[in-house]
Structure 1
Amino acid sequence: MYEWQSGVNNGLDCIEKFSWLNYENDYGMVFLTCGPGLKMTADFTNLQGMQMDSPESKKLIKKWVEELGPKRMADYEIEDWPNFNEFFVRKLKKGARPIDAQDDKSVVVAPADCVINMVVDELTETTPIPVKTVSMNVRQLLDNSEYAERFIGGTAVSCILMPDSYHWYHAPVAGEVVEARDDIGGVYYGMRDFPELLNKGNVGYGYDYEMFDHFRRGYVIIRTEYLDPSGKRDGEGYVGLVPVGLNSIASVNFLDKFQPPLRERVTVEKGEKIGNFKYGGSLNILLFEHDRFPALQLLQGQRIGVLEDPLRTTGLFTRSYHTQSRRLRPLAP
């Protein structure tokens, strides 16, 4: 029997091993996404969540703190966390993540500590049509929200959180939240090609994000102002933030301020906390209107990455960029 252990540097090992059940295996995929298999993985996820909420889970905290090391833990407020899940959603120290261009409404900021990839630049309304090797059904992703049509022909950006990352997500722009959902049901396991998501070091690059509209998720739609080249107001538009719970989590937890159903629009500042994910892997998908977010753009001196400890690279990213895709290899047990 394989022992499922929770550690910083092996955070994705067990999920990756479990994914072989449905890797290029239609029967395995059916088992995980409907009927008894879906119920089993739902029960497992709920039970694991209860375990991570229990006082007994505190023993994991010391292990994670030691593996994260003093340099990374220096970003966080140190508390007597009552259980592992409260440690997992630990709070940053004030000033640890300064918000860039706080007063410039045209500047979009990262919603979380994450690996970022442009997903697609021509979102489709209904049928997923491949664009640049990836596809996404934006109407299904937003569960037929009336705002889905705003993003037809627009851009999606994936923001993938690693298991050892800060697990709160924040508003990427300032404005008003006009709609929020945190209750969209979906599957818990059954990513078609989880190993490929981790492959090549650049997590999620070139991945087919179509499947994420089938996972447990929520969303917020933010009405924001557009500015012209002189910095003056030039109309308004919308940005979507879609938190997706994957594998060993299904929690999409919003702060009370953003809990649906919203009775009126809720003001949100750029960088303001919206919610968190508890233990497991997860991602945010940002949605932008047509021609409003053409590319990821950085200013000189801004962070673009980290020179990693090899232990973290091996545990979380698994392969160098030049490694041949696993899709071309035989299945392994």
Structure 2
Amino acid sequence: MNQEKVEINSIDQFTELIAAWYEENYHGFADKYKAAVKNIQPIPPDTDPDVMYDWKDATIEDLCNFFQAWYAWNPDLTTGLEYIQKFSWLYYKNEAGLEFVSTDPGNLMTFYYVELDGQKMDSPASKELVAKWMNELGSKMDDYIIPEGGYVSFNQFFTRELKEGKRPISGVDDDSVVVSPADAVINMIEDNLSIDTPINVKTQKLNVRQLLNQSELAVHFEGGTAVSCILMPNVYHRYHAPVSGLVVESDEDVAGNYFGIDNFPELINGGNVGYGYDYSVFEHFRRGYMIIKTEKYGYVAMIPVGLNTIGSVIFEEKFKKVTPENAVEIRKGDEVGYFQYGGSLNILLFEKGCFPAIRIPQGQIIGTLEEKETADKPKLQFSF
């Protein structure tokens, strides 16, 4: 469906539009929605009641009211996924639901909502939410630059910059040292990459060529290693180069879906930050990618992925669109880009044999502890 996009400036305008689409069954919108809610699957019994929502046989009024409530809601550090999870039950293990949200006009509906929510997070009205998050972060805000007069919007706060020296780069003069691209939880997700066909290793799947948007350089990662770097909501949301070399290819924005992980709760509730999850789904989300040619260690790729509610991945100007003919030098630790609210996963790819393990010298940080979960201190959720 080739639909010319319209400008949506309010949540009322948005819900009026999708109600009209339903009334006229615009390009099958009503048919797809009815099929989705008819095929709703049972929610696992151990699910947190705060993130449950029963979409079974929901009406168009229910859908409109849901978006109205979502737009009025503001996340905090412990509830960042509440409405995303509620929405995800619409397509949880539900092929008809996935069809509804990932193809037009349902996909256009999600685009409009994400854009509208982004406008809200860019507006001065979101400053109240900034104060709430800063209060919850407490002393952790000492790491960040606070502009004179404060942050003008939630997105400016969310993409806040670090003070000089707060993240020293390891092995500055040792090109064999790979550094984390972000404040992230690290998972090894694959150690024998297949270029075209997702393969199962430890129940994980990945299609490298699709992740790199059909790049000819994808062949260099045959048999290589992939590492996922997942960001939490309370951390720094800019990402940096993991290695030094020449950026020989990059693209800031590869179009894709905004919603549609058919078993989203498995990713966030499966333990160990989604370990064992089917990562091939990320081929279908908004993302960018960058391929760095190192002097001795082959090619290294980084794929920032925007998951659920993020509409774009933002690169520094010089990295937005690079080709081999206009390669750009990059140093380990150089800033590449950032995620606005929504966001946040980086996948790193390495050539075969070049990244056999994550090695940590004695005495260096391997992680941080969180206080035990209690009734008054719920578990921190992911920031997608």
TM-score by length of structure 1 reads 0.88
Alignment of 1:5 with 2:74, yes or no, is yes
Other-structure match for 2:101 = 32
Assess, with a 3 A threshold, how the Cα gap between structure 1 residues 54 and 150 changes in structure 2: closer, same or farther.
same
Paired with 1:248 and 1:126, the residues of 2 have a C-alpha distance of: 28
More helix by share: 2
Other-structure match for 1:59 = 128
Other-structure match for 2:338 = 276
More strand by share: 1
Paired with 1:151 and 1:250, the residues of 2 have a C-alpha distance of: 28
Report the Cα offset of residue 39 of structure 1: 0.7
What do residues 82-132 of structure 1 show as CA deviations (whole Å, max 9, x unaligned)? 111111000111111111111100010000011110111111121212122
CA RMSD in angstroms, aligned pairs only: 1.5
Paired with 1:313 and 1:116, the residues of 2 have a C-alpha distance of: 22
Paired with 1:60 and 1:5, the residues of 2 have a C-alpha distance of: 7
Q: Pick from 118, 138, 145: which aligns with 2:215?
A: 145
Paired with 2:146 and 2:110, the residues of 1 have a C-alpha distance of: 33
Report 1 or 2 for greater relative contact order, CA contacts < 8 Å, sequence distance ≥ 6. Answer: 1
Paired with 1:206 and 1:6, the residues of 2 have a C-alpha distance of: 27
Runs of 5+ consecutive residues of structure 1 not aligned to the other structure? 227-235, 318-333
Aligned positions of 1:129-278 closer than 5 A = 129-226=199-296, 236-262=297-323, 264-278=326-340
Q: Secondary structure at the match of 1:74?
A: helix
Paired with 1:313 and 1:77, the residues of 2 have a C-alpha distance of: 28
Q: Pick from 158, 161, 178: which aligns with 1:108?
A: 178
Assess, with a 3 A threshold, how the Cα gap between structure 1 residues 261 and 178 changes in structure 2: closer, same or farther.
closer
Alignment of 1:42 with 2:111, yes or no, is yes
Q: Which moved more, 1:265-274 or 1:16-25?
A: 16-25
Other-structure match for 1:316 = 381
Report the Cα offset of residue 199 of structure 1: 2.0
Q: Secondary structure at the match of 1:281?
A: coil
Runs of 5+ consecutive residues of structure 2 not aligned to the other structure? 1-65
Q: Secondary structure at the match of 2:143?
A: coil
Paired with 1:163 and 1:315, the residues of 2 have a C-alpha distance of: 8
What do residues 223-267 of structure 1 show as CA deviations (whole Å, max 9, x unaligned)? 1122xxxxxxxxx51100000001011221011121214551111
Paired with 1:202 and 1:37, the residues of 2 have a C-alpha distance of: 32
What do residues 63-87 of structure 1 show as CA deviations (whole Å, max 9, x unaligned)? 1101111x21111112221111111
Aligned positions of 1:72-87 closer than 5 A = 72-79=140-147, 80-87=150-157
Paired with 1:206 and 1:129, the residues of 2 have a C-alpha distance of: 13
Paired with 1:41 and 1:237, the residues of 2 have a C-alpha distance of: 39
Assess, with a 3 A threshold, how the Cα gap between structure 1 residues 261 and 175 changes in structure 2: closer, same or farther.
closer
Other-structure match for 1:307 = 369
Report the Cα offset of residue 276 of structure 1: 0.3
Q: Which moved more, 1:47-56 or 1:172-181?
A: 47-56
Q: Does structure 2 retain, via aligned residues, the 8 Å contact 1:155–1:289?
A: yes
Q: Which moved more, 1:160-169 or 1:196-205?
A: 196-205
Q: Secondary structure at the match of 2:117?
A: helix
- Give identity over the alignment, percent: 55
